[in-house]
Amino acid sequence: MKINFAEKFIGSGFYTGYVKYASGTFGSLAALALYLIPGFEDPVLLMALISVFFILGVDIGTKFESLYGKDPKECTVDEVVGTWISLMLIPKKLWMLALSFIIWRALDIIKPYPFNKLEKIRGGWGIMLDDVALGFLAFILNHLIINFIKNLL
């Protein structure tokens, strides 16, 4: 199965999937860098981008899997989407972004039960669903922890 330039660009999380080590972390860093663009944090814009990248990610992820094998490291669009979900409504303050990023990456790397079961689904659905679900878990934890810290200060 052939992957065109646009599919390769999006599927690899802006080519971060081709970084030799920690491609998922680099995909998440690329998503964070985009989040830092003024206006990118607008919830309407962000939800639209999450939706579009999720839909594209399912199709493109299936193509990546057929080319590179099960849940390949080259496919990091799932990390991009998961990062954006985890950052929803997070103010652009360095400590909040750093904390949110660490929580998201820890969850994505550890893949706690039952979220790890989602990646067993075949094709692009399996690639995308575990990161989307973990993105929502990170979103909840991020807001709980940030609000707890803000209330202490």
Stretch 46-71: mean pLDDT: 97
pTM above 0.85, yes or no: yes
The pLDDT tens digits of the residues spanning 61-70 come to: 999 999 999 9
- Residue located via tokens 């990118």: 40
Torsion of CA 132, 133, 136, 142, to 10 degrees: -100
Query: Which 3 state secondary structure label does DSSP give 121?
Result: coil
Predicted pLDDT of residue 1:
75
